[in-house]
Amino acid sequence: MKVITDYKMHSLGEKINEALTPAELKRLKSELKIHCDEVGSDFDEVCKLLKIQAGSLSKLDRKQVEWLNSVCSSGWEVNDSTGKIDVETYQTLIRSGNLIDGEIPYDIEFGVIRGTFRTDGSGLKSFRGFPEKIYGDLNISGNDLESLEGCTQEVMGTFNCSNNKNLKSLEGGPKLVRDAYNCSSNIGLENLEGSPEKIGGRFQANDCSLKSLKGAPKEVGGDFYCNDNYLTTMKGAPERIDGNSVYCRGNRLYSLEGLPLDYRGRVECSKNLFPEEVLRSVYANAKKYDSWTAAYLVLITTKRFQRMSKEQRDPIRDVLTGDALRSKSLELSSIWKDPIMEDPAIKRMIKRAQLGKDVIQDVELGSDLKDIGF
């Protein structure tokens, strides 16, 4: 639509309103606002002549209107109730040239975004003026963010904060993400504290510096990714994973402990401290006996374990110390009467644990109760 330069058309006001679509009318009003500021006319008075509702647009100045037109075209309007900018367009795209000192300029504050909101690779440093709610995706990847404080809290699509080299925490980020969540390639992240309790889609935390999965969502609706980190176990992993796969290759894993024992999907765990087949075997035994302690006892009886290096064996020995076995002795009820318990390696381990008669009686009682269905 061509920019209208002659606004002395009050006699045609009704025809203008009838001829224009809502989107065209919004664009006309924004161009009219710019023109009035340029020539010194009263915007509200001109709107009255044209029988157009000025609304809260009169509160904006020329720079604000021009900036909004550049990032979200004609699909924006001032919410009369909140005074913030609501956007209806499919995508709001903020590039580096749209920011001043790494933030949204001119005191503009967004309210509700009905589409996607993108500031990826823009040099964003601050969430000043960010939307309260986004019905599409939010992409803030590839920026200079040091914190997620002030970020949009409700994202109905996907959330992507990957590749922010200075980001050290997910605290302050969205509490509600209906689809996927991607925080990969943030080399400052050592845990996942601050992520939502539940994610509707996949969760990606590849190539960070994770030493723990503490703070990970409790429920993930898709696949779970934590490749290429510094994890030694999967403790802190989601309690429920609805995707077909868990990807945890390229870590320092000696155990998959932390993954839910009722998970039936595929686990990709190559290139870890323990070979993939050993990690999967121990996981299978943990499911079989409903006990990681029992699974570790089975592991020490294998020739594969006995041939492993000291670096590989030590973590398992550390979790099977006398104190550890005594504290988790009731877990052994699931394996207590299994012939594997007669293996010399296990018998030596049990003897070193100095399990007292009272503890042994409790374990045997637990085993008997398990046998009869309790």
Residue 62, pLDDT > 50, answer yes
For residues 112-137, average pLDDT: 97
Give the per-residue pLDDT at 15: 53
d(CA 194, CA 87): 28
Please state, in angstroms and as integers, the Cα–Cα distance from residue 261 to each residue in 225, 295, 332, following that order: 18, 12, 16
Give the per-residue pLDDT at 328: 78
In 10 A of CB 56, how many CB atoms? 15
Residue 341, pLDDT > 90, answer no
Label residue 154 by pLDDT band (50, 70, 90). very high
Label residue 335 by pLDDT band (50, 70, 90). confident
Mean of per-residue pLDDT scores for the chain: 87
Please state, in angstroms and as integers, the Cα–Cα distance from residue 80 to each residue in 44, 83, 310, 329, 340, following that order: 15, 5, 69, 65, 73
Q: Are 226 and 288 within 8 A, CB to CB?
A: no
Q: Give the lowest-confidence range in 247-256, 283-292, 337-346.
A: 337-346
Q: What are phi and psi of 283, to 5 degrees?
A: -60, -40
Taking the domains of the chain in order of start, what are their residue ranges? 1-59, 288-374
Q: Are 295 and 282 within 8 A, CB to CB?
A: yes
**Best-predicted range by mean pLDDT (6-10, 86-90, 132-136):** 132-136
Residue 143, pLDDT > 60, answer yes
pLDDT tens for each residue of 165-212: 899 999 999 999 999 999 999 999 999 999 999 999 999 999 999 999
Nearest to 368 by CA among 337, 339, 322, 331: 337
Residue 352, pLDDT > 90, answer no
pLDDT tens for each residue of 2-43: 444 444 444 445 555 556 676 676 777 777 767 777 777 777
Q: Is the pTM of this model over 0.85?
A: yes
Render 164-194 in DSSP notation, one character per residue. -TT----TTS-SEESS-EE-TT-TT-SS-TT
d(CA 342, CA 14): 94
Residues whose CB is less than 8 angstroms from the CB of residue 134 and which lie 6 or more positions away in sequence, other chains included: 112, 113, 116, 117, 152, 154, 155, 156, 157
Give the per-residue pLDDT at 74: 66
Render 128-143 in DSSP notation, one character per residue. TT--SEESS-EE--SS
Nearest to 75 by CA among 136, 35, 25: 25
